Amino acid sequence: MLSAKRFSLLSCCLFILMWCHAQTKHQPDKALLKAIDQNMIDAAAQYKVLLQNLPAEKFPKTYFPTTDKYEFSNSGWWCSGFYPGTLLYLYTQTKDEVLYKEAQRILEVLKKEQFNKTTHDLGFMMYCSFGNANLIQPSAAYKDILVTSAKSLSTRFSPVTGVIKSWDGKPNEYLVIIDNMMNLKLLFWATQVTGDSSFYKIAVTHANTTMKNHFRADNSSYHVLNYHAQTGAVQQKKTAQGFADESAWARGQAWGLYGYTETYRETKDRKYLEQANKIAAFILNHPNLPTDKIPYWDFNAPDIPNALRDVSAATIMASALLELSGYVNKELSTKYFKAAETILKNLSTDQYKAAAGTNGGFILKHSVGHKPAGTEIDVPLTYADYYFVEAMLRYKAMFKK
Ligand code: GLY
């Protein structure tokens, strides 16, 4: 049974999701609210299918509908936090103990990654999982794991480059991807709970350096920057997962939007809000953004309008836009809120949402992981599901009486 304490902490958790919407009031779309309630029930049922298909100690990565084959990962894969994170988000809606117990089981497998100093993805891996677990039921054990994770992540920061290293390269290379903005939340949290400002300083230095170097004049971002490890000079601006070095990879734009919105929330420094607004303008005013607002995998994919969509980019954008709508003037707020609504409505249709029992138990179809590498193309992905559920929670929380 769910304890009274856990319930009151759930309310606290929802409050945190709601607090950003204190400003402009929007009218709920009643049909969407109803669809969201059904989506939550369906998603919980899907994740019970998924959990039955997981080998021990493994994490879901993707599923190939045409061959009925799964791909799993170990705990070191950058996405390992999304599965427990989604289970926990769904648990806050359904109060289904099966989901909570499965989250507890997989967190035990994941917890060794707190010591992993070879990845910049510890924010994704540890905050989306243990961070959410700690919001639902705070514990000293979760806090220790999160603080150790923040310490591990901090070892990848260089005062010379002013950024956290994403990927290990050659000795002179210091490779940083826009995705890394998503790992800063873990550092902000660590300063809040420990009082040690070094985590906060690393996070804002990374955000500042990225703001200075990662963006083009049109406010789109490069995917990968190669800094000189010894001088900090930018040596190269390129892509890894996008169509071309000069193209706008859709998920990269989504990570930037979410990352700067979150950095504004954590710092209240308006320069980050301005950056988030600029990224939102790039995305929402782009002539290649389809009317259903589910982006092509790259805004400059050569085969638009026949290019594949990337549902994961859409879910990240929807969640970020709902939060950002709480920080801006009425006109912008309405624009962001409506765009997020459009995304959520479209993702709730059969076009994108999997039918019960299909899709290997994943919630959404049609994401693109790494097109240039030929991997995870037009498949379900754990992070598409995670940010979809988060965006729906944020939408619901805006209208909670
Ligand atoms: N590199 C993380 C992503 O695929 O978005």
pLDDT value of position 13? 52
179, 258, 298, best to mutate for ligand 1 pocket (most atoms within 8 Å of CB): 179
Q: Which residues line ligand 1 (CB under 6 A)?
A: 179, 241, 251
pLDDT value of position 6? 53
Q: From the CA of 316, how far away is ligand 1's center (Å)?
A: 12
pLDDT value of position 401? 74
pLDDT value of position 14? 45
Q: From the CA of 27, how far away is ligand 1's center (Å)?
A: 34
For residue range 157-213, what is the model confidence (pLDDT) as tens digits? 999 999 999 999 899 999 999 999 999 999 999 999 999 999 999 999 999 999 999
The reply to whether 251 sits in an annotated binding site is yes
pLDDT value of position 101? 98
Ligand 1 atom at minimum distance from 369 CA: 4
Low-confidence ranges of the chain (pLDDT < 50): 1-4, 7-12, 14-16, 18-21
Q: From the CA of 24, how far away is ligand 1's center (Å)?
A: 32
The reply to whether 350 sits in an annotated binding site is no
pLDDT value of position 105? 98
- Whether the model pTM is above 0.85: yes
Ligand 1 atom at minimum distance from 383 CA: 5
- Three-state helix/strand/coil letters over the chain: CCCHHHHHHHHHHHHHHHHHHCCCCCCCCHHHHHHHHHHHHHHHHHHHHHHHCCCCCCEEEEEECCCCEEEEECCCCCCCCHHHHHHHHHHHHHCCHHHHHHHHHHHHHHHHHHHCCCCCCHHHHHHHHHHHHHHHCCCHHHHHHHHHHHHHHHCCEECCCCEECCECCCCCEEEEEHHHHHHHHHHHHHHHHHCCCHHHHHHHHHHHHHHHHCECCCCCECCEEEEECCCCCEEEEECCCCCCCCCCEHHHHHHHHHHHHHHHHHHCCHHHHHHHHHHHHHHHCCCCCCCCCCCECECCCCCCCCCCECHHHHHHHHHHHHHHCCCCCHHHHHHHHHHHHHHHHHHCCCCCECCCCCHHHCCECCEEEECCCCEEEEECCHHHHHHHHHHHHHHHHHCCC
Please give the class, per CATH, of domain 44-397.
Answer: mainly alpha
pLDDT value of position 2? 45
Q: From the CA of 354, how far away is ligand 1's center (Å)?
A: 22
For residue range 351-400, what is the model confidence (pLDDT) as tens digits? 999 999 999 999 999 999 999 999 999 999 999 999 999 999 999 999 98
Query: Would you kindly state where each structural domain of the chain is located, as residue ranges?
Result: 44-397
The reply to whether 77 sits in an annotated binding site is no
Ligand 1 atom at minimum distance from 241 CA: 4
**Ligand 1, atom 1: closest residue by C-alpha:** 179
The reply to whether 310 sits in an annotated binding site is no
pLDDT value of position 169? 85
* Catalytic sites, residue numbers: 121, 179
